[in-house]
Amino acid sequence: MNTIIVKTPVTRHLGELFSKNGLSKKTVVLFDENTRNLFGSELLDLLTEQGFQWLDLVVPAKETSKSFNTANKLYGKMILADVDRSWNLLAVGGGVVGDLGGFIAASYYRGIPIIQLPTTLLAMTDSSIGGKVAINHPLGKNLIGFFHLPRLVLIDPAYLKTLPMREIHAGMAEVVKYGFIADRDFLFRLDRHFSEIIALEEPFVTDAIRRSAEIKSDVVEKDFREESGLRATLNFGHTFAHGLEKLADYRYLRHGEAVTIGMVCALSLSHGLGYLNREELDQGVRILRKFRFPHGLVQRRFLGESSESLLEYMLSDKKKLDRKLRFVLLKSLGSAFLLEETVEDHHVLKAITEAKELFKKALAC
Amino acid sequence: MNTIIVKTPVTRHLGELFSKNGLSKKTVVLFDENTRNLFGSELLDLLTEQGFQWLDLVVPAKETSKSFNTANKLYGKMILADVDRSWNLLAVGGGVVGDLGGFIAASYYRGIPIIQLPTTLLAMTDSSIGGKVAINHPLGKNLIGFFHLPRLVLIDPAYLKTLPMREIHAGMAEVVKYGFIADRDFLFRLDRHFSEIIALEEPFVTDAIRRSAEIKSDVVEKDFREESGLRATLNFGHTFAHGLEKLADYRYLRHGEAVTIGMVCALSLSHGLGYLNREELDQGVRILRKFRFPHGLVQRRFLGESSESLLEYMLSDKKKLDRKLRFVLLKSLGSAFLLEETVEDHHVLKAITEAKELFKKALAC
In the three-class reduction of DSSP (H, G, I as helix; E, B as strand; rest coil), residue A24 is classed as: coil
Q: Distance (Å, rounded) from C-alpha B189 to C-alpha A104? A: 45
Give the DSSP letter of residue A276.
S
pLDDT value for A282: 96
Residue A211 catalytic?
A: no
Per the structure, the complete domain to which residue B299 belongs is given by 164-364
Helix residue spans in chain B (DSSP H): 14-20, 33-35, 41-49, 68-80, 95-107, 121-122, 165-182, 184-192, 194-198, 204-222, 238-247, 255-272, 278-290, 296-304, 307-320, 345-364
pLDDT value for A362: 85
- Residue A141 in marked binding region: yes
User: At residue B52, does pLDDT exceed 90?
Assistant: yes
Q: Give A299's pLDDT tier (boundaries 50, 70, 90).
A: confident
Query: Using one digit for the tens of pLDDT, what is the confidence trace for A10-58?
Result: 999 999 999 999 999 999 999 999 999 999 999 999 999 999 999 999 9
Q: Give A216's pLDDT tier (boundaries 50, 70, 90).
A: very high
What are the DSSP calls for B247-279, one per residue? Answer: HTTT-S--HHHHHHHHHHHHHHHHHHTTSS-HH
Q: Distance (Å, rounded) from C-alpha A186 to C-alpha B328? A: 57
Mean pLDDT, rounded, of chain B: 92
Residues B102 and B243 placed together within one structural domain of the fold: no
Q: Distance (Å, rounded) from C-alpha A88 to C-alpha B129? A: 27
User: At residue B317, does pLDDT exceed 60?
Assistant: yes
Residues B227 and B349 placed together within one structural domain of the fold: yes
Chain B nearest-CA residue for A227: B85
Query: Using one digit for the tens of pLDDT, what is the confidence trace for B193-210?
Result: 999 999 999 999 999 999
Q: Distance (Å, rounded) from C-alpha B188 to C-alpha B207? A: 13
Q: Distance (Å, rounded) from C-alpha A273 to C-alpha B183? A: 65
HSE-up of A83 (CA within 13 Å, CB side)?
Answer: 33
Higher pLDDT, B321 or A294: A294
The active-site residue, picked from B148, B177, B210, B242, is B242
pLDDT value for A1: 58
CB contact under 8 A, B72 and A134: no
Residue A216 catalytic?
A: yes
The total number of structural domains in chain B stands at 2
Mutate one of B72, B103, B107 to test the A interface: name it (highest A CB count within 10 A): B107
What is the arithmetic mean of pLDDT over A61-71?
94
- Where is the domain boundary, B106, B141, B161? B161
- Strand B53-59 and strand B26-32: the pairing is parallel
CB contact under 8 A, A146 and B144: no
CB contact under 8 A, B137 and A72: yes
User: At residue B37, does pLDDT exceed 90?
Assistant: yes
CB contact under 8 A, B107 and A75: no
Q: Cβ contacts of residue B322 below 8 Å, gap of 6+?
A: none
Spatial contact of A334 and A185, defined as CB atoms under 8 Å apart:
yes
Q: Distance (Å, rounded) from C-alpha B4 to C-alpha B307? A: 41
What is the arithmetic mean of pLDDT over A96-116?
96
Residues A152 and A68 placed together within one structural domain of the fold: yes
CA A345 to chain CA centroid, Å, is 28
pLDDT value for A319: 58
Q: Distance (Å, rounded) from C-alpha B332 to C-alpha A252? A: 71
Residues B104 and B231 placed together within one structural domain of the fold: no
pLDDT value for B319: 58
Residues A136 and A115 placed together within one structural domain of the fold: yes
Spatial contact of B88 and B24, defined as CB atoms under 8 Å apart:
yes
Q: Give B318's pLDDT tier (boundaries 50, 70, 90).
A: low
CB contact under 8 A, A321 and B82: yes
pLDDT value for A322: 61
Closest CA to A247 of A181, A298, A187, A287: A298
Residue B169 catalytic?
A: no
List of chain B residues whose C-beta atoms are within 8 Å of the C-beta of residue A146: 106-107, 110-111, 146
User: At residue B1, does pLDDT exceed 80?
Assistant: no
User: At residue A296, does pLDDT exceed 80?
Assistant: no
In the three-class reduction of DSSP (H, G, I as helix; E, B as strand; rest coil), residue B37 is classed as: helix
Q: Give A252's pLDDT tier (boundaries 50, 70, 90).
A: confident
CATH number assigned to the domain comprising residue B157: 3.40.50.1970
What are the DSSP calls for B213-225, one per residue? Answer: HHHHHHHHHHSTT
List of chain B residues whose C-beta atoms are within 8 Å of the C-beta of residue A80: 139
| Burial state string for A49-65 with b = 16 or more CB within 10 A and e = fewer than 16 | ebebebbbbbbebeeeb
Give the DSSP letter of residue B332.
E
Chain A nearest-CA residue for B80: A139
pLDDT value for B248: 78
Query: Using one digit for the tens of pLDDT, what is the confidence trace for B221-278?
Result: 999 888 888 999 999 999 999 898 888 776 778 888 899 999 999 999 999 999 999 9
- Residue A119 in marked binding region: yes
Residue A245 catalytic?
A: no
The active-site residue, picked from B151, B177, B210, B231, is B231
Mutate one of B66, B80, B110 to test the A interface: name it (highest A CB count within 10 A): B110
CB contact under 8 A, A75 and B137: yes
CB atoms < 10 A from the CB of A33, how many? 15
Q: Distance (Å, rounded) from C-alpha B232 to C-alpha B328? A: 7
List of chain A residues whose C-beta atoms are within 8 Å of the C-beta of residue B146: 106-107, 110-111, 146
Residues B143 and B175 placed together within one structural domain of the fold: no
List of chain B residues whose C-beta atoms are within 8 Å of the C-beta of residue A321: 82, 84
Q: Cβ contacts of residue B296 below 8 Å, gap of 6+?
A: none
Higher pLDDT, B192 or B255: B192
- Selecting from B68, B106, B138 the residue whose C-beta is nearest the C-beta of A68 gives B68
Chain A nearest-CA residue for B104: A144
List of chain B residues whose C-beta atoms are within 8 Å of the C-beta of residue A108: 143-144
The active-site residue, picked from B255, B271, B292, B301, is B255
CB atoms < 10 A from the CB of A178, how many? 25
Q: Give A144's pLDDT tier (boundaries 50, 70, 90).
A: very high
Residues A185 and A247 placed together within one structural domain of the fold: yes
- Where is the domain boundary, B161, B189, B206? B161
Query: What's the gap in Å between the CA of B143 and the closest CA on chain A?
Result: 5
Q: Provide, rounded to the nearest whole percent, the portion of chain A with pLDDT above 70.
A: 97
CB atoms < 10 A from the CB of B335, how many? 16
CB contact under 8 A, B110 and A146: yes
Chain B nearest-CA residue for A139: B76
- Where is the domain boundary, B123, B138, B161? B161
The active-site residue, picked from B196, B226, B312, B326, is B226
Residues B258 and B173 placed together within one structural domain of the fold: yes
Q: Cβ contacts of residue B271 below 8 Å, gap of 6+?
A: B277, B278, B281, B354
Residues B174 and B91 placed together within one structural domain of the fold: no
- Selecting from A132, A137, A145 the residue whose C-beta is nearest the C-beta of B79 gives A137
Give the DSSP letter of residue A334.
T
- Selecting from B139, B145, B146 the residue whose C-beta is nearest the C-beta of A79 gives B139
Residues A155 and A176 placed together within one structural domain of the fold: no
CATH number assigned to the domain comprising residue B205: 1.20.1090.10
Q: Distance (Å, rounded) from C-alpha A2 to C-alpha A130? A: 8
Q: Cβ contacts of residue B70 below 8 Å, gap of 6+?
A: B59, B64, B100, B135
Tell whether the torsion through CA atoms of A327, A332, A337 and A341 is positive or negative. Answer: negative
CB contact under 8 A, A146 and B75: no
> Which of A314-318, B163-167, B315-319 is modeled with the greatest confidence?
B163-167
Give the DSSP letter of residue B24.
-
Residue B255 catalytic?
A: yes
Query: What's the gap in Å between the CA of B189 and the closest CA on chain A?
Result: 36
Residues A172 and A130 placed together within one structural domain of the fold: no
pLDDT value for B320: 54
Report CA-CA distances (Å) from A207 to A187, A227, A289, B209.
12, 30, 21, 59
Residues A317 and A203 placed together within one structural domain of the fold: yes
